[in-house]
Amino acid sequence: MASLDMLDEAQKGILGQFQSITQTEDLERSVDILAQHKWNLEPAVQQFYDGTAHTATNEPPDDERLLSSSDDGIRHRSTTANGGTSSTNSIDQAARMLKLRLFEARLISHPSIATQTDRSQRRDPRALASQFLREFREYYGDRHVEFFQGGYSEALEKARRELRYLVIILQSDEHDDTEKFCRYVLFVIQVERHLTFVRETLVSTELIEFMDNNNVLIWGGNVREVESHQGKCPHYISCTLQATTYPFTAIIILQTPVGSTVPKMTVVDRIEGSVSPSVLINRFEAAKQRHGHALNRLKLEQEQREIERHLRSEQDKAYRESLKADQEKVTERKAREEREAAVRAEEKAKQAEEERQTYAEKRQQYIRYLYNSLPEEPGSDYVGKVAKLSFRLGNGDRAIRSFRGDQSIEDLYHFIEVYPLLKGDERMDCTSPPEKYKHKFNFTIIAPYPRKTFDVSSKHKLCDEPSLWPSANLIVDTEMDDDE
């Protein structure tokens, strides 16, 4: 058993269109046919009519039977009004009418020639609608009710989507040809009906203004033309609308059937035969009185949904704009922070470079100061204790120098620090150390056997160090210095 709960909104809409077109209440069969065609509406409708056209015609749904019954009087009145002329004037008048209307009759029947030629060919509904309007204007002029340029199914869908009244107008140039006499008489009557309906009704200023004021969607076509492309079912639209007399007019609106939650396009009135503009307007007004409130309710619901949709759209738009603004603020703040960080890093690097250069300058100044203040090496006439020390430098050079016994370990470090200047034998004019500078020696003096490291801060005298007195071989262990 089919359930509407299993369908999404799009499928429910297609189902409503299918049931509107086919006028079937069999939900399960409708869903099965649509599912077979992957919810493609047109082939599904064609399959329905290929197999059930006669059944649908013989047994219309209950609500359609009620509508048909309510139209019996109109059918009778239309037939009587048009048939009275025939019974009064007899066969001779019919013959005279045939002569008088022969030209216009050919205009009416002209479209059937192309129809018979292309009857077996499928034609685009839009092309058929365009042909109908083109020929209509050619025969009756440009002033007429506005016809929808599209197929029958398109008109149903447009009216359903826009919640508009839909008026279907069918014309037919077919006539009974069982006998020559009946063919002449009935053909003249049929032609007269078409011409009267077109000349007096469809081009009526009163009807045109009424349809425009009520925003009515109007679709029209010749029965044989508009149905010839439907395939096996030759009476697709007339079967659906239960049309038997032409011209035929149907008023269709979107309604929710009793016991259903899915609204569908429903025929609310049928008008068969030629009627005046005032009669057609009165019938339309009566249909509005009976069913307009339901359509208005659907319009209110649609407007409410549109308001809610618009509100959600505005809220979403406001949220997106707010989110975008927040993201832009975050991006801007991040960019600003990155710029500020880059500036700080640049300033820090610049400051570090300046400090490095200042330190290097002060270091060189301090080394020159040590060079100028370095004690003289004791000579051969020195009577005190002397320590003769040999230093193996980090670059492989060997430096040998004698020191007084009362000199300190720090003097050894001073000697190694200024040794490159001593090799150059240049005097430096620097008598004072730099201000705010603490010197760091980038090497360590080590006695290899036994191994001992001499700390520059040691206050011991050289003569008090057994590893240094009276002589020693020392190693200068150079440290890596990034500042140099």
Q: What is the CATH number of the domain that holds 193?
A: 3.40.30.10
Q: Are residues 125 and 253 in the same domain?
A: yes
Does a structural domain hold residue 352?
no
The answer to whether position 399 is within a domain reads: yes
pLDDT for 178 equals 27
User: What is the pLDDT averaged over residues 101-116?
Assistant: 40
pLDDT at 235 (0 to 100):
53
Nearest to 391 by CA among 480, 271, 474, 477: 474
Least confident of 69-73, 393-397, 426-430, 479-483: 69-73
State the residue range of the domain holding 166: 4-275
The tokens describing 403, both together, are 């020191």
Residue 326 included in any domain: no
The stretches of 374-450 forming alpha helices (DSSP H) are 409-424
| Least confidently predicted of 49-58, 70-79, 289-298 | 70-79
Question: To 5 degrees, how large is the angle CA 330–CA 333–CA 334?
Answer: 85
Give ∠ CA 16-20-23 in degrees, rounded to 5.
Answer: 125
CB count within 10 Å of CB 314 equals 10
Residue 295 covered by a domain? no
Query: Does residue 298 form part of some domain?
Result: no
> What pLDDT, on a 0 to 100 scale, did the predictor assign at position 226?
53
Q: Looking at residue 336, what is its pLDDT?
A: 94
Cβ pair 460, 409 in contact under 8 A: yes
C-alpha–C-alpha distance, residues 350 and 24, integer Å:
88
Distance of CA 102 to the CA centre of its chain: 59
Same domain, 9 and 145: yes
Of 275, 290, 320, which one is at a domain's C-terminal end?
275
Number of structural domains (the chain) is 2
Average pLDDT on 351-366 reads 93
Question: Is residue 351 assigned to a domain?
Answer: no
* Residue 368 is assigned to a structural domain of this protein: no
Residue 171, Cβ density class (10 Å: 0-12 exposed, 13-18 middle, ≥19 buried): buried
Q: What is the CATH number of the domain that holds 435?
A: 3.10.20.90
**199 lies in a domain?**
yes
**Cα–Cα separations (whole angstroms), residue 67 to 47, 63, 242:** 26, 6, 10
φ/ψ of residue 243, rounded to 5: -90, 135
Q: Order the strands of the 166-171 sheet from edge to edge.
A: 217-222, 166-171, 248-255, 264-272
Domain boundary among 217, 247, 275: 275
Q: How far apart are CA 416 and CA 367, in angstroms?
A: 10
The residue out of 275, 299, 330 marking a domain boundary is 275
Answer yes or no: is pLDDT of 77 > 90: no
Q: How far apart are CA 168 and CA 148, in angstroms?
A: 10
- Quick check: 68 pLDDT over 70? no
Grade residue 333 by pLDDT with cuts at 50, 70 and 90: very high
Confidence of residue 173 (pLDDT cuts 50, 70, 90): low
Residues contacting 446, CB < 8 A, separation 6+? 452, 453, 454, 474, 475, 476, 477
Indicate if the pLDDT at residue 243 is higher than 60: yes
Task: Name the pTM for this structure.
Answer: 0.48
